[in-house]
Structures are given as C-alpha cells and as structure tokens.
Structure 1
Amino acid sequence: MDQDNKISNQSTPSPSDGAARLVILGAGESGVGAAYLAQQQGFDVFVSDFGGIADNYKKQLEDWRIPFEEKQHTEELIMNAAEVVKSPGIPDKAPIIKKLHEKGTPVISEIEFAGRYTDAKIIGITGSNGKTTTTSLTYHILKDAGMNVGLAGNIGKSFAYQVATEKFDWYVLELSSFMLDDMFRFKVDIAVLLNITPDHLDRYDYKLENYAASKFRITQNQTVADYFIYCADDPETIKGMKERTFGAQLLPFSIQQKFEPGAYLDNNDNIVINTTQEHFTMSIQDLALQGKHNIYNSMASGIVAKVLELRNETMRESMGNFKSIEHRLEFVANISGIRFINDSKATNVNSTWYALESMTSDVVLILGGVDKGNDYTMLNDLVKQKVKAIVCLGKDNKRIHEAFDDMVEIIVNTSSAQEAATVAYHLATKGDTVLLSPACASFDLFKNYEDRGDQFKAAVKEL
C-alpha cells in the first residue's frame, strides 16, 4: 500500500522538467519498447539489465542510440532516476528495487508508462489461466469486425513500442499479476478477470489473498462508464468481490447459472450473451475452441464483443474460425495412432487440470520443471481416471514423485525434451495421447515455455 500512495502522491516526471531521467530495468520486449517510447518523448533514457541482453534487443538499442548496460546494475546510473520502469520479471525484493523504494523513486510498469501517451481505449484481460487464449480470441473478433485494434501486454510487440509507432483506437492487453502490481493510474475501459487459482505464490509471500489482490488491480480507477467482466463460477473471484466495491458495470459469465445481463449456458448447450444489445447465441459445438475451460474463454471474449455492439454474424464467424494459439493444447502430430499435444504454456497446476479435463483418451503425461510451490492434489482425480504413465521433465522431480507414486504405475525421469518425447512414445500405445502439460515453469532446462514447446515439437517430429 505504501508504494500505491508513493506513486499517487508524486507528480509524473516529464521531459519538460529538463530531460527528466528515466531508467528502464530489464531489456526484454517490454523494456526495449519503453526505452524507444521514452526517447521519443524526450526523456534522458538509460537501460540496465542484470542479465545478458538478447542480440536482437541489443541491436535495437544501439540503432536508436539508447545507452544501456548488461550483466550488472550500476547504482550511480540508476539511483539518479526521476522514475523507473521495471520488467515484470523483476521482483520487489530485488536489492535495486528495494533501494529505489527506500529512496521514494516511483517504480512503474511499461504498461503504466505507455498508457500516458495514448488516447486509445483499453480492454485488459487477466486471470491465472486462459489469458493468452482469451486475449488472442478477443483481438481476432475485433480485428475481423474491422476495428482498428492492437494486441499487446504479455503477448506480441510491447505496448510501449506500439504506442510510439502505431495509432490504434483500441488495444487488447494481456495483463499478468506482475504487470498489474506496478500499475497505479492506468485505467482499463473493459476489464476481464477469468479466474484466480494459486500461481506465482513465491512472489506473494505464499498467500493466495495477496495474489488475488494483484488480479483485482485490473479494476482500479474504473468508473460507471466502464465494464468489469468476471467468472461467476470461480470461487476465489467471488470471494474477492465480496471484499471490494466496483465503480464499473458488472457483467458475469457462468456455465452453472443464468445471468442477465451477462453470459450463460442454456439447456441446449448454447452460449447466450445478453448485454443491453440484442441477444447473442451460439452452440458450443460450433466454437473453434473446445473443452469446458474454453467455453469460459469464449464467453468472456463474446461479452467484450457485445459491449462493443459487434454484429452477431461477425462474432459467430470469428468464434468459429479462430486458430488455437501455439503452446496451448496445440496438436503436434499423430504417430502410429498416438496423438502428441504441446501444452507447454501450462506453467501451473490449474492449467494442467484444464488440459487433462479436455482429454478423451488415456494419457502419457509429461510434467515438471521449476515448481512454484505447487499443490498437485487437484489433479488426483483426473490422473487416476486418465493418466497411465508420467514422464518427468525437470532437474528436480521429487515433488511429482511424492504426489503420484502411489497413483500411477510408471513414473520416469528425463532431462531433455528429446528424451521425454522418446520415452513417452514408447510408453504410449495406439489410441493414447502424449500430453506435454508441465504444471511448472521452464527455467531449469529451457529459456522459457516457448523454447520448451519448440524443443518438444522438434523431438516429436524426429520420432
């Protein structure tokens, strides 16, 4: 809370103060984009990354003549900042962030910074699971309808870079809890909260309520002219809502009960969306995205589209032809009658639950990586019903063994995507599915979840 007050009580530094110094910590997609926008706005910009900077980002900074450093944080070049934009991946407990907070220097996200320089309307989407799918689907529907819309946040080109180089009327932003933590004055016109399940608890003192509070920041600064779209079936969301008041108009979605206004599933398995506009209905059989979790994702995107008064025919077409995103329940190949599915983006237990819930055959499950304080018990019933073998893919698989040794006859340890794919192939029989849905972060053996998914797909294609 102190940080909230610190930001809101300080004036925003601007170049008119005589080239105000803006320091950017982290030179990934968001940091480099923020640096470009800051330079364009006349700030004295400096970029510092405690790790190495990827060659493509280094080249961009060099081409733009923006000073930077890597593999260190030089305090005298950072502590003189009027304001700091930090990468979502840097925790508040990092020594340099602690020092900046102690000094009273505002530390904000790239989204907060970029939001100052655009008049575009914002659709913000958050949740523990389904963010990327729902953000991509919403963008797909709006773009197909002919809207002038950008896609940013945790996905695609950085928001700041697009604000500097494009002129969109709308943005669809995928917002992680880490981004929301460093957003203060930024306002989302249409906010979507899909669900709240335990994730990243290592960043939140292992308290679910702290993580939930981050998710609810998506509604801060909203007014009666805005909308808050949420899942009425999600217990943590409903619990959090009881403790808060909301300025925006509330639009719930549910597959368990009827909501008007809002979205629900009727007795004939049709999604029904009712805002103030004409009702929208669509059979779940006609949705491009199948599985129970994707009914929720489609409902959320559909409510956004109806709020924007898009035509029902356009919505139906877009929701029926959307191509699933890479690394999220992505079909890879069918080899000897065995289906291989890449769900590398499943970096928490809840995502893996959704993946298993949508499986219709016996499964050889590839699990493992960096465990973020996972509780695997929610998988127990699905593992008993559907999983014939588990292939562990990680440096430390002890907790997976503890969770499932008594439940699954075969659990094998592997240390590469190639080994995992090969072992899983030999454990599976015709009609089975080999599912990479790790429930863990990827940083022990891979650069990120994309790298893990790409290596898995390459390994499958070599079988």
Structure 2
Amino acid sequence: MKTLTNFPYQHVLVLGLAKSGQAAAQLLHDSDVSFVINDNKAFEENETAQHFHNLGVETVTGGHPLSVLDGVDLVVKNPGIPHHHVIIAEAELRGIPVVTEVELAYLLIDGPLVAITGTNGKTTTTTLIHQLLDEAGLNPLLAGNIGEVASNVVRQQTSGQPVVMELSSFQLKAIHQFKPDIAVLLNITEAHLDYHQTRADYVRSKLRMLERQTDDDVVVYNSDDDTIVSHLDKAKAQQVGFSVKRRLDHGVSNDGQHLFVEGDSLMAREDVAIPGDHNLENVLAAVAVVRQFGVSFDVIRRVLTTFVGVKHRLQFVKNVSDRLFYNDSKATNILATSKAIQSFTRPVILIAGGLDRGVEFDSLIDQFTNVKHCVAFGESADKIVEAAQRHQFDAVTTYENLQEATEAAYQYSEPGDVVLLSPACASWDQFDSFEDRGHIFIDVMHKL
C-alpha cells in the first residue's frame, strides 16, 4: 500500500478519531511520520486510541488541552470539528496549518481526480460518475464523503486509475494543496450555518477546490445556479456548463424532451430511469464529467436507462398495501426535501424532522401542494408544526421518534399514496448517521 514520501511536516496532530481520523493516523504511522492523537472520548472507552497507543503513538484523550499543539507543525482534523473549536482556533493563532484527511489523500493520488461538491445531489452524482466510468472499462475508485475514506482508498490506487471523490464543505474548508483535475459544482444553497456560521463562509468553502486549478483542468458547473455562476470569473479552469432549464450550444443540457451534449441529441428525457427533475441535474453533471474521459454515447445511454439512484436518496423501498414507501433519509436540508416532494404527482405523506439547527421551515411548507399529511418527529418537530400553522396547513402531527412517525404515516395514508421519509434535517439528534435513520425507517416499514 502507498505511504507518504517527502512529507514536509515533522510532527502532526490528529484531532478526532472518527473514520477519517483513524485513516489519517494509520497512514501517518505506516509512513513513519511523528504524530500525536487527541480525541474527546475517554481512553477506557476508546478502542481506536487504545490501538494506536499499543503501537507506540502518543494519545491524549478525554479532553482537549492546548499542550497537544506543542511542537506540532500540522493539524489533521476530523471534518465535523468546527473551526471555532478551541484547538483549531489556537492552531490558527500559532500559524499552524489545519487540514482534513483528504489533503493527505491528495498527496498519494497518481491519476485523474474528479471531485464533486454541492449542497444537494453529491452522492447520487458521484455514484453515477463512478458507474459510468466503470461501465466504460476505466476501473475508477470511489472515495470521500460517500463513506469511503479517501486516504484508505487511494493507498490502493494503481498509476493512472481515476479517483471519483465526493466532498463536503467541512472537508473543503481545510484544504491547501488539494486540486482536482475535474471539479464539479452541483448547486449552492444555504446549509450548515451552525458549522460555517455565515453563508459567505459556506460558499467560500465549496469554491476552494477551484483555487489551485489551472487551464489544464476542468470545472463542470450548474449554469442555472446564480451563486455558482457569479463566482466563476476567478476560475482558471476550462468551464463546462450543464442546464436542466434550457438547451446549451456547449456543455450538457435538457430541453424538456431530450438530453443534449454539445448540441447533439443524447437520448430522450423519458428514457432516464432515475426519477425527479432534481436528479436530472445530477445526470447532466455526470454526463459532462465522463465525456471528458471520452465515454461513448452508447455507454452513457446504457447506464442512464438502468440507474435508479442510491440508498437513502429517494430510494424506492417497497409497495405496502398499495402505498409506495420511499427512503430519502439523506435529505438533510429543506431544499433537498422540497425537491423530493416535487418528484411525485401522487399524494404524499411526509415524514420529516431531526436535529434542530435553528432554521425555520416556512419555505418547506410552501412546497406542500401535494402533501396531504406531514408527520414530524425529533428535535425540530415543534418548529415544523409552527411553520405549518403560519401557513394554515393543519394536517401535521408530531411524534417522539421515527418508529412512531412511520407507523403513524402508514395509518394516515390511503391506497395510491406515497409515504416519504425526507427529513429536511440532520440525523444527529437521535441517530448516528442518516444511513442509520434510513435503515430504521426500512425496518419499521417491513414490520407494518
């Protein structure tokens, strides 16, 4: 497996031992780089810290003393740790660079790198790009925020093998040398303000992966997104747009009937298997990327007529007594849930709620044209009810947890309805992850 060579740092702090921290620590250890681990979980309950301690690595657990920064010339932090954290703030005061694990992964990559980010659609687009490149025989690797820790994946890369990497704003905020050959900007709306604190910081973080690109590189971008378009004047890379709203002479687009690539008809819109207009954005972006690799129209058509999406993203689960159950647990913000609702013409029983991040839900209620009942749960349930009341939407009820909410949604539904879990909130009030939330929804549904 690959290790770091000519690494310019002498003593590293790994802050946080979630999956990315564990992978970073293992890479540093295998590369004979001196480092210290700092994690908030007590040593007695911390199997990962115990593992590295037994390997001879200095571990500091149960708190975050500033002394862990003494002698350190690089911090590799867990993406979820905000930059106002005491250790990060102190590191920045001391002039110590702070990166996320993807920065280490980048130092190992030997081949084309495709990096995908956006507020919504990242996982679907990343998965589709990977599948298209795989179908074309290019043997790509899948990495990043999609669940595969980048530095683990790229350690196994062979020379020239493409890497397709999903990236969050949390990861991108702390990069320095990282530069994709093809950057993909799907969309940018307001999200994660509890972490970034301002919209400007969130936008800036998303756009960081363009900063080091050159005119040999490519940025694939949503030409319908005003925020993205307004920042492209500083981009040095070649620009390839995509649009779901209008036909483009260059790039990839849709006129409502057909998909076009550089003005040439690719296929009929109705032959694209994945549902929803919002997913068409993901499809067009993926097509724009793989055309940079020369993937043929025949391969693209073959995949697009069979690809139906990914788990936890508008995933059709089962027909129960003529109710269609969909798992959209990955919809962790209002825009994602709004787009999910708009994907259906049938009446929808919506299950929503989760971590309260201080947002209001009025813009979500505005999309309830085909929602006949909303079942709210979790921390934000009362806020959803309050927003519904402001908009005179009375068909909303609250439940303590997802199991009760799912059982209630079934009771509120009638034959022909869609029962949709699309929470519009993060999962961390009651679950370890959105995947955990989705699995529980499916388990409850199978027991109905």
Residues 239 and 422 (structure 1 numbering): CA distance in 2 closer, same or farther, change over 3 Å? same
The 8 Å contact of residues 14 and 43 in structure 1, kept in 2 or not, is answered as: no
Paired position in structure 2 for 1:332: 317
Counterpart residue number, 1:316: 301
* Alpha-carbon contact 1:391-1:413 (below 8 Å) kept: yes
**Which position in structure 1 is the counterpart of 2:13?**
23
* Mapped partners of 1:245, 1:37: distance in 2: 35
Residues 57 and 312 of structure 1, relative CA distance in 2, 3 Å threshold: farther
State which of 74, 85, 94 in structure 2 corresponds to 1:83: 74
Partner of 1:10: none
- Residue 60 of structure 1 and its aligned partner are, at CA, apart by 6.5
- The whole-number CA distance in structure 2 between the counterparts of 1:263 and 1:361 is 30
Q: Which residue of 2 aligns with 1:115?
A: 106
Q: Among 245, 253, 256, which residue is 1:264 paired with?
A: 253
Match in the other structure for 1:199 = 191
Separation of aligned partners in 1, 2:305 and 2:69: 50
Matched, 1:344 2:336: no
Q: Which of 433, 441, 447 is equivalent to 1:448? A: 433
Q: Structure 1, unaligned stretches of length 5 or more?
A: 1-12
Aligned residues between the structures: 442
How far apart are 1:231 and its partner, in Å?
Answer: 0.8
- Tell me if structure 2 keeps the 8 A contact 1:387–1:408: no
TM-score by length of 2: 0.92
Residue deviations 1:371-412 (CA, integer Å, cap 9, x gap) = 3233433323421x1111111111342321121124322221
Distance 2:55 2:306 in 1: 40
Partner of 1:254: 243
Tell me what 2:199 maps to.
208
Report the counterpart of residue 273 of structure 1 in structure 2.
261
Q: Does the 8 Å CA contact 1:124/1:175 hold for their aligned counterparts? A: yes
Q: Distance in 1 between matches of 2:95 and 2:141?
A: 34
Aligned equivalents of 2:95 and 2:325: distance in 1?
51
Structure 1 residue aligned with 2:402: 417
Q: What are the within-5 Å matches in structure 2 for residues 297-446 of structure 1?
A: 297-383=282-368, 385-405=369-389, 406-446=391-431
**1:462 maps to 2:447:** yes
Q: Is the 8 A contact 1:149 1:170 kept in 2?
A: yes
Q: Distance in 2 between matches of 1:26 and 1:110?
A: 11
**1:112–1:329 Cα change, 3 Å:** same
- Which residue of the partner structure matches residue 100 of structure 1? 91
Question: Structure 2: any 5+ residue segments left out of the alignment?
Answer: none
User: Identity of aligned pairs, percent?
Assistant: 35
- Checking the alignment, whether the CA contact within 8 Å between 2:348 and 2:372 is kept in structure 1 is yes
Q: Which residue of 2 aligns with 1:151?
A: 142
- Cα drift, residue 245 of structure 1: 1.3
Runs of 4+ residues deviating >4 angstroms: 13-17, 52-67
CA shift for structure 1 position 131: 0.4
Contact 1:25-1:86 at 8 Å conserved across structures: yes
Return closer, same or farther for 1:161/1:127 CA change in 2, 3 Å cut-off: same
Distance 1:15 1:50, change over 3 A: farther
**Which letter does structure 2 place at the counterpart of 1:49?**
D
Moved more, 358-367 or 63-72: 63-72
RMSD after superposition: 2.3
Tell me by how many angstroms 1:66 deviates: 4.7
Q: CA deviation at 1:94?
A: 0.6
1:309 and 1:62, CA in 2 relative to 1: closer, same or farther beyond 3 A?
farther
Structure 1 CA distance, aligned partners of 2:328 and 2:394?
Answer: 23
Report the 3-state secondary structure (helix = DSSP H, G, I; strand = E; otherwise coil) of the residue aligned with 2:231: helix
Letter in 1 for 2:410: Y
**Alpha carbons 2:252, 2:262 under 8 Å: kept:** yes
Letter in 1 for 2:383: R
Report Cα offsets for 1:48-99 as digits up to 9, x if no partner: 2224799785686478665544432344334332211111100001111111
Distance 1:63 1:284 in 2: 57
* CA shift in 2, pair 1:294/1:396, >3 Å: closer
Question: Which residue identity lines up with residue 260 of structure 1 in the other structure?
Answer: D
Structural mapping, 1:147-226, within 5 Å: 147-167=138-158, 169-205=161-197, 207-226=198-217
Query: Following the alignment from structure 1 to structure 2, what is the Cα–Cα distance between the partners of residues 175 and 68?
Result: 28
